[in-house]
Amino acid sequence: MKKKALIVGATGLIGRHLLSLLFSDERYEQITVFGRRSVDIEHSTLIQHIVDFDCTKAWRKLITGNDLFSCLGTTIKAAGNRNAQYKVDYTYQYEVAQAAADNGVATYTLVSTYGADPGSKMFFPRIKGELDRDVKRLPFTTIRILKLSVLIGERYVTRPGESLAVVLGKLLTSWIRPLRKYRPIPAAVVAQAMITAANDTTAPAIREYEFEEIFELAHSNAT
């Protein structure tokens, strides 16, 4: 039986690749995206909902299907302040996940970050850790969390600090072999890994993936 996929964050770096891959994946008959703006794509399997994530009652009953993919995210610079970033990186994603679990969605796949820890003194790893912790408590049948290192790919908006991290990451991981597993990861690889993870029925109900495991997930689908 074909499935229905749900995406939050479809206009982002990973989300755009994810959407493209799902269009060509015969396991999915419908892809529904929820976002603050249109993805500017037309496809026979695509349904778009432009939503205000602050108005939960207006969209929570629409979160129905089989597999929810969550790749929403921002930065303090883009959001404007920590409270605004927290809304995007924790509140909105958790509320969507909670609605999906309440509506019977079986599989939840989340993009997180390496070092995510609810007890961290650093803001970004802390909120990512809080989200990882809290979505694991929701009654999904399957939960997959991909913990990324530095992400690479073409963005609509450039991030100079992140660009420097990519350059340094590539240099260090090419020079020092033990660091290779921490190498920057292309968004297209993450997107493919998300789909593979969501459809892996051999893994435990809750499974986290880091570094080389994410590359292996994407590669296993290609082979």
Q: What pLDDT is attached to residue 169?
A: 43
State residue 176's pLDDT score: 46
Q: CB of 5 within 8 A of CB of 28?
A: yes
Q: Count CB atoms within 10 A of the CB of residue 175.
A: 9
Backbone angle region of 72, left / alpha / beta, with phi > 0 → left and psi within -120 to 50 → alpha: beta
Torsion of CA 30, 36, 40, 42, to 10 degrees: 20
* pLDDT band for position 216 (cuts 50, 70, 90): very high
Query: Please, what is the Cα angle at 20 between 158 and 170, to 5 degrees?
Result: 45
Percent composition of the chain: helix, strand, coil (DSSP 3-state, to 5): 45, 20, 35
Is 215 or 222 the better-scoring residue by pLDDT? 215
Who wins on pLDDT, 157 or 108? 108
**All domains of the chain in start order, with CATH:** 3-151+186-222 (3.40.50.720)
> Is pLDDT at 102 greater than 80 in this prediction?
yes
